């Protein structure tokens, strides 16, 4: 049964700070714990978490305590056992979560695990919604920004790849894992002799370590044949539907039918990036980004970047399969970022350059600033920017030689202008121009995408140093997240990875805010940020 925690606002006769030595108390008040208690613990709205509990039974352990402990775990980058020890014996941690004496509110080891399990299950059952932890993350971020004068009008975004709790494995190792998972799901009496051998200790060694390089393809075909045999048995067992689906997917993505009617491995180039990467994590995908090959997921981080801010706050996060393009992620998140934080300008790299992102930015009222542009430059010597083109309608007003067209309009995906032959026939710029001479007129056709890219390139070149400087620092946030375990999470599946990544993002903001409140960061910027925060808080 769900019940909110009202006790955190009441005093206690057992409050250890009452009899604490003044010097010790002063040191406590100058630590991170009072800041966490006041600005994080007391700010957590427990009501949205009522959906995780039933309406009958014993009351739940306070959600604000459990969520606070999750934040502290990722701030300290410690294990669950270390966190539980801290909760039992560390007074700073107890003060931060509302306890005023050690042992005041005992908690069973399973309580923390069960809460996390409920959050995971909610995320799995509601894949189309933001995870339930995004609301507290956003609420805390807004509060931090208001208290410290952090402007959210200017922001930057980037993505970074990470792994879940899976190993880097070749196709043969993946085939072996799928096979053993399938065989274990088959009742012992229904296994054939060949399938039963897959669970013997020597089978793994012979399959993965003793096979010679020239024999790997043959061995892979043999293992896939065994997977096919296992699937024939599993599809007749209703209780093994999950194992059957895993083998069916693996065979569909990785194999083809040979001349003998048996499954054999596809050529490497025919295996798609979205194919199964691990027998234990069906959501993980493969990506080769800038020469880095990895199986897993991609994390999008967005943070503030105004120069006057004393420090920067992460304002948005999103976990996707790593074969999802950067541009698609930003397109889907841009409207929400604008609505949640009031973002007006976004600094990105060339990987986000696409008509879809430009359209989403225009619709959301966000100005994009690129550090570079993807793709190749126009082959013609004369860029679209050499023409005078209306900024609203994209119609051509004048050619580079200064002639106005007889007719101009936008047709389909092109801007088309028609000139008289007397103006273009002897023009000195004709060989460099987009014009094509026809029987009765000269026609210029410029793709709208080229016009857009030309404008973006001109804007980028005008402030390339500022754009690069503003965007580059987000790599530091990616690095900070990875130093706290983001590089390889200890969970599997996109739902669990999203939850853990969100907790780590919130922990980063809490640490930055606490550092600011304790006097960190440059004093001059702090004063300037305070003045700005009084005028334009989010």
Residue 288 pLDDT: 85
Q: Is the pLDDT assigned to residue 9 strictly greater than 60?
A: no
Q: What is the CATH number of domain 147-163+291-375+458-528?
A: 3.30.420.10
Domain spans of the chain?
Answer: 7-129, 147-163+291-375+458-528, 171-280, 384-444
Lowest mean pLDDT of 160-164, 469-473, 525-529, name the range.
525-529
| Residue pLDDT, tens place only, 346-372 | 999 888 888 899 899 999 999 998 886
Give the integer Cα–Cα distance in Å for 157 and 475: 9
Residue 459 pLDDT: 66
Residue 418 pLDDT: 92
3-state secondary structure 262-317: CEEECCHHHCCCCCCCCCCCCCCEEEEECCEEEEEEEEEEEEECCCCCCCCCEEEE
Lowest mean pLDDT of 93-102, 203-212, 482-491, name the range.
203-212
Task: Work out whether strand 285-289 and strand 292-304 pair parallel, antiparallel, or are unpaired.
Answer: antiparallel
Q: Is the pLDDT assigned to residue 6 strictly greater than 80?
A: no
Give the integer Cα–Cα distance in Å for 410 and 393: 8
| Residue pLDDT, tens place only, 129-159 | 778 999 999 999 999 999 999 999 999 999 9
**In which band, very low, low, confident or very high, does the pLDDT at 453 lie, cut at 50, 70 and 90?**
confident
Task: Work out whether strand 154-162 and strand 345-348 pair parallel, antiparallel, or are unpaired.
Answer: parallel
Residue 537 pLDDT: 38
Mean pLDDT (the chain) is 89
Give the integer Cα–Cα distance in Å for 292 and 304: 27
CB atoms within 10 A of CB 455: 16
Residue 538 pLDDT: 38
Provide the strand spans (E) within 470-531: none
Strand partners, 437: 442
Residue 528 pLDDT: 55
| Residue pLDDT, tens place only, 154-204 | 999 999 999 999 988 789 999 999 999 999 999 999 999 999 999 998 999
- Between these two residues, 466 and 183, which has the higher pLDDT value? 183
């Amino acid at each position: 049964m769900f019940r909110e925690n009202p006790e955190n606002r009441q005093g206690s006769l057992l409050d250890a700070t009452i009899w604490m030595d003044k010097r010790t108390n002063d040191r406590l008040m100058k630590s991170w714990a009072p800041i966490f208690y006041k600005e994080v613990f007391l700010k957590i709205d427990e009501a949205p978490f009522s959906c995780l509990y039933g309406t009958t039974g014993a009351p739940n352990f306070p959600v604000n305590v459990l969520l606070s402990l999750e934040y502290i775990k990722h701030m300290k980058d410690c294990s669950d056992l270390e966190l539980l020890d801290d909760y039992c014996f560390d007074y700073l941690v107890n003060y931060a979560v509302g306890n005023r004496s050690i042992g005041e509110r005992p908690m069973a080891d399973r309580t923390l695990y069960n809460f996390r399990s409920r959050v995971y299950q909610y995320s799995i059952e509601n894949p189309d919604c933001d995870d339930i932890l995004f609301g507290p993350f956003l609420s805390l971020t807004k509060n931090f920004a208001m208290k410290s004068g952090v402007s959210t009008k200017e922001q930057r975004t980037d993505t970074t790849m990470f792994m879940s709790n899976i190993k880097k494995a070749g196709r043969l190792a993946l085939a072996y894992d799928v096979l053993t998972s399938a065989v274990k799901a088959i009742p012992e009496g229904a296994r054939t002799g060949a399938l039963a051998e897959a669970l013997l200790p020597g089978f793994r060694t012979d399959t993965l370590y003793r096979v010679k390089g020239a024999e790997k393809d043959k061995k892979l075909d043999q293992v896939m044949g065994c997977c096919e045999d296992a699937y024939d048995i599993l599809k007749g067992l209703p209780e093994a539907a999950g194992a059957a689906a895993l083998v069916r997917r693996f065979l569909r993505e990785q194999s083809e039918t040979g001349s003998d009617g048996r499954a054999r491995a596809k050529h490497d180039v025919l295996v798609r990036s979205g194919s199964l990467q691990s027998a234990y994590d069906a959501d993980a995908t493969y990506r080769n980004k800038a020469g880095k090959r990895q199986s897993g997921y991609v994390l999008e981080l967005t943070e503030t970047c105004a120069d006057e801010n004393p420090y920067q706050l992460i304002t948005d996060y999103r976990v996707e399969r790593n074969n999802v393009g950067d541009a698609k992620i930003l397109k889907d998140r841009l409207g929400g970022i604008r609505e949640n934080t009031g973002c007006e300008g976004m600094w990105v790299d060339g990987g986000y350059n696409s008509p879809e992102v430009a359209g989403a930015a225009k619709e959301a009222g966000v100005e994009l600033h690129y550090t570079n542009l993807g793709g190749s430059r126009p082959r013609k010597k004369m860029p679209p920017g050499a023409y005078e083109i209306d900024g609203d309608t994209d119609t051509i007003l004048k050619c580079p030689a200064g002639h106005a067209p007889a007719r101009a309009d936008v047709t389909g995906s092109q801007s088309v202008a028609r000139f008289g032959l007397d103006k273009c026939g002897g023009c000195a710029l004709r060989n460099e121009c987009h014009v094509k001479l026809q029987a009765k007129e000269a026609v210029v056709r410029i793709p709208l995408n080229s016009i857009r890219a030309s404008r973006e390139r001109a804007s980028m070149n005008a402030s390339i140093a500022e754009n690069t400087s503003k965007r580059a620092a987000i790599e530091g946030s990616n690095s900070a997240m990875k130093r706290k375990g983001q590089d390889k999470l200890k969970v599997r599946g996109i739902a669990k990875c999203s939850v853990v990544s969100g907790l780590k993002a919130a922990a980063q903001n809490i640490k930055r805010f606490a550092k600011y409140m304790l006097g960190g960061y440059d004093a001059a910027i702090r004063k300037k940020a305070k003045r700005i925060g009084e005028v334009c808080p989010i």
